Amino acid sequence: MKRGWKISLIALGSAVGLLLAAVAVLLYLVFTPSRLTSIANRLAKDYIECEARFGRVSLSLFKTWPNAGLRLEDVVLVNPCPTAPGSDLFAVAPASDTLAGVESLAVGLDLRAFLKDGSVIVRQLCLENGFANLYTSADGWSNLDVFARSEDTDTSSSGQFPERIDLRRICVRNLSARCCDLRQGLAARADCLGFTLCGGWEQQSANGRLRLSLDRLRAVKTDTAGARLLDADLSHLALSLRGSGPMDSLQGRLRLSLDNGALSLSGKPYITDPARASRKKLLSLNIPFRADLQNRAAALSQAVVSLLGYSLSLNGALSLPHDGVPLTTDMTYAAADWQIAELLSFLPADLAKALNGFNADGRLSLSGKVVGSVGSGRLPVVDAHILLHRGSLDLASLPSLPLHKIEAEVAARLNLSADSLPSAPSDLQVLRLSAQSGGSSLSVTGRVDDFLSARQVNARIRGNVALDDLAAFLPPDLRLRGASAVDLKVQSRLSDLTSLALERVKAHGTLLLDDLDVQTDSLHASSPHLRVALALPAKRAAAKPSSDILSAHITGANLNVEAAPNLEAEMNAPDIVVSCPNLLDKRQPLSARIALRCSRLSAQKDSLFSAFTDTLRLKGSVCRSPKEEDNLLRQWNPVASIDLDRLALSAPGMTDAVRLTSFIFDFRPEVCSIREADVLWGVSDYHLSGQVRGLQQWLSHTGMLTGSLDFGSHYADIDQLMAILSGMGADKDTLEQQRAADNISPAANPFIVPKDVDLKLNTHIDRCVAFGNDLADLSGSVSLSDGTAVLDQMGFTCKAARMQLTGLYRSPRINHLFLGLDFHLLDIQIEDLLDMIPTIDTLVPMLASFRGKGDFHLAAECNLDAFYRPKMSTLLGAAAITGSDLVVMDNDKLASIARLLQLKDWRQRDGLIGIDSLSVEAAVFRKEIEVFPFLLDLNKYRLCVGGRHTLDNACNYHLELLKCPLPVRLAVDVNGTLAKPNIKLGSVKYAELYKPEKRDALQTRTLAIKQMVREALEANVR
């Protein structure tokens, strides 16, 4: 540039500058602060109807450059409030006569427009250190009504948006404001409010920016009765909003930050003390947006909403309601790393109370989408994908079952619109859910259909369960230990699962149990491994409805069971089906239906009694009664049908095991029905059938065991059977004390009739051995009744005779037994009779001299000692002996009697002494035996014999010859002792005995008694 031009431009600029400076000095000298202040106060009276004071008004050229400005200082507006009754709202915003006060207010005007056409255009406004008190009375009067009303009635431009806005700057610093509206029941207070606003509008395009800060905002809203509907106290609020662009595509960003605060609605706090104590910002917004102001729509991109440090990212479109179109949204959201425990501590009191006893923790992440409309009963569809990491859950209702290490992934679609629920219900899909509790771990997959209504669950549960973790779900007296691998499929409403309403749950699956241990007060079961197939509802026959809801099919290698008192059992390869009602319902007794099968069962009691069976089949039920602590049967009330194959039993004192080749019976609490029982015991075999009653009372020693059984056998060792039954139900210690007190030899083992039993045995035995005698065809009934044994018309045979016995046997003490019998021996050899019943030789001594067959009848009762020897002092009875074609053994005593009676040719040709017939009746009373007169036919002779003897061998017998070849009547008396009798001739006294027309009364009575005895003895012979 040439030097001349440069100097000219510098000179011109200096001249313009000096001109402007001169104008400014002139304006300042003309419009002095005092002059301007006076003008402002004078004009205020024309436009402001309340008291207004301007402390100082001055021009400002440089602060508002390039605009000219006015600076107002110490501005005060006073508008007295009417007297009003006191209100709680005044505590927040007290009424005051001072409407407003400003320390400094600077206004920038467009000088160019003013100089050009006199237009007054405000470009800048800056307010510092001001306050305002706004008041509206209950009748609608407001202290803001301070400006004079305009007389211009033209409202044609009213409501039109200006074509151009150019706002360079509005700035407010340190403004405090109070508002009290008694008509609306609203009071608010803002402290240290500051904001700046700048921007413009031209040709459908906007550009602006707003920044706002507030130290504290307090607001209260009440109803007509004065109750607080809203109470808010917010502190340190900062807001930033900027935007630019045309109205249909305005781009901008909204930022908001709220450090802390308190909020109550209807008296209920919604910002809790933990939330207020948190160092995190209460609310934070960072929302980039693109807005269509004409259609009231906006699109968000990476918008972040943060509450107490927990952020939610939003992307998508949002349309506000307009022209009848409801609010619509198509928004995606995402959140990560939410700490559940801390979030729960921030919940309002009402929600926290609803979650009382619900403690949860973990890190939560979620993402999803919200699509749909809001309004007119419509709500959007919400898609959610939820991830939970390292979660935990502790419920007060289940204190012993806290969950930890919860990992979850859930996808949900929630259709919140009531109109679309029937056609498109919500659903929730559990992609994975795993948790641990104690020693247990579970994983769940599945779905919940109609999640907002029916909540129908269809899930699969797998995992490993430590059974002792289930203690909270079980009755207190039922204890479980062991481990279980679970694979279970469930279909149910969610409400039924959470309330454990198992009767409305469908489920099936398997449990693999290892080291199982189940224990109640009276039962203990264990197994190294079992497989359990579960079914809900219980599988049952259609024709047999029941209240059972759960069934389990149990199989495994072996199962051990211990039942009180001291009963142990082991099952090999058990196959058990159990069905039961709701075990978790404590209002119902513990009960179950059982079907059991095992290939081998072994059991023992007190390590002494033992049982083994190859196959066991059982069907039945149990119902537990906790009050019955001492009686196992009453405690469980079992009902069962049992089928055993090849059962072996052994017990102390049994030289041979008892084997049941088949055992089928039905058991009820009061009746046990034996349908079939085939028993092998040593060389014996037995077949039983019938019923037994009162087993519960018998085991608890409160009643008797009663029943009737059919008892059959091909071969039976009665001695062996009596040995095992002897003393059953008796106190062993008492028996030993009796043995010691009576000084009884150990060799004596009398049969002690079982106590507390009343059993009848209908017996038929082909062959047996009893008391060393071989018997056959034994039939009749045997009754055992509380220490008394009764044999009723028991018939049997042996090699010597046919026999029939009716007897009664009691054993009150070992050495004091009682026997009463009605005994018949038919066609028995007399010598065998004496071998079988040696006591007969004592009752009828002369029988030892006879040989041949006869009939023997005996009815007697006496006490016995421990060796079954009669106590003769107690003997009472009667006997009858009948024989024919007998032989008398020759001896010196008989020869002496024959010589005295002049018997000749009384022997047969072979030298034997034959007796055509014999009929003897005898009566026993204590130690005296009376033999009634009886006849002996010896070849050509007939003798009548009668008399008595005692157990000390003293005798008094009379033998009289009634018929002989010679016309003589001789008689012999035998006195002294049986060992050394005194034989001599005696007087005749039986001559008229068998002549009815000549016998006397005594003889008649004697024969009548003799006949009575025989008839009585023979009356029961079958």
Q: What is the pLDDT of residues 753-763, one digit of tens each?
A: 888 888 888 99
List b or e across 268-289, with b for residues whose CB sees 16 or more CB atoms inside 10 angstroms. Answer: ebbbbeebbebeebbbbbbbbb
Residue 805 pLDDT > 50, yes or no?
Answer: yes
What is the mean predicted confidence (pLDDT) over 27-41?
Answer: 67
Residue 501, pLDDT score? 75
pLDDT band at 504 (very low <50, low <70, confident <90, very high): confident
Determine the Cα–Cα distance for residues 570 and 566; give it in Å rounded to an integer.
13
Residue 583 pLDDT > 70, yes or no?
Answer: no
Tally of residues, the chain: 1022
Span of 486-490, 742-746, 848-852 with lowest mean pLDDT? 848-852
Backbone dihedral region for residue 323 (phi beyond 0: left; psi -120 to 50: alpha; all else: beta):
left
The last residue of a domain, from among 404, 437, 470:
437
**What is the bridge-based pairing of β-strands 757-770 and 705-717?**
parallel
Amino acid in position 1015? E
Amino acid in position 211? R
Residue 564 pLDDT > 70, yes or no?
Answer: no
Q: What is the pLDDT of residues 254-292, one digit of tens each?
A: 999 999 988 888 888 888 888 888 878 889 999 999 988
- Look at the block and give the residue holding tokens 């259909």: 449
Is position 772 within any domain?
no
Is position 258 within any domain?
no
- Look at the block and give the residue holding tokens 């290939």: 599
Give the CA dihedral 813, 816, 818, 823, nearest 10 degrees: 120
What is the mean predicted confidence (pLDDT) over 297-317?
Answer: 90
Is position 379 within any domain?
yes
Residue 421 pLDDT > 50, yes or no?
Answer: no
- Grouping H, G, I as helix, E, B as strand and the rest as coil, residue 665 is strand
Query: What long-range pairs does 35-41 form, CB within 8 A, spacing at least 24?
Result: 36/70, 40/72
Residue 486 pLDDT > 60, yes or no?
Answer: yes
- Dihedral sign for Cα atoms in the order 885, 889, 893, 894: positive
Residue 585 pLDDT > 70, yes or no?
Answer: no
- Grouping H, G, I as helix, E, B as strand and the rest as coil, residue 1005 is helix
Residue 684 pLDDT > 80, yes or no?
Answer: yes
Closest CA to 127 of 196, 63, 64: 196
Is position 836 within any domain?
no
Span of 258-262, 297-301, 338-342 with lowest mean pLDDT? 338-342
To the nearest whole number, what is the mean pLDDT of the chain?
79
Cβ neighbours around 967 below 10 Å, total = 5
Span of 415-429, 518-532, 680-694, 984-998 with lowest mean pLDDT? 415-429
Residue 332, pLDDT score? 92
**What is the bridge-based pairing of β-strands 853-864 and 850-851?**
unpaired
Residue 543, pLDDT score? 44
pLDDT band at 387 (very low <50, low <70, confident <90, very high): very high
Closest CA to 920 of 847, 991, 861: 847
What is the mean predicted confidence (pLDDT) over 516-545?
Answer: 76
Residues 6+ apart with CB under 8 A from 351: none
What is the mean predicted confidence (pLDDT) over 462-483?
Answer: 82
Is position 396 within any domain?
yes
Is position 713 within any domain?
no
The pair of structure tokens assigned to 309 is: 């440090």
Higher per-residue confidence, 259 vs 887? 259
Determine the Cα–Cα distance for residues 472 and 480; give it in Å rounded to an integer.
11
Number of folded domains in the chain?
A: 2
The last residue of a domain, from among 437, 457, 492:
437
- pTM comes to 0.63
* C-alpha distances out from residue 718 to 676, 762, 778, Å: 21, 15, 11
Is position 990 within any domain?
yes
The last residue of a domain, from among 437, 453, 468:
437
Is position 88 within any domain?
no
Residues of the domain holding 1002: 880-1018
The pair of structure tokens assigned to 279 is: 């160092």
Q: What is the pLDDT of residues 809-845, one digit of tens each?
A: 888 888 889 888 888 878 777 777 777 777 677 666 6
What is the mean predicted confidence (pLDDT) over 422-430?
Answer: 75
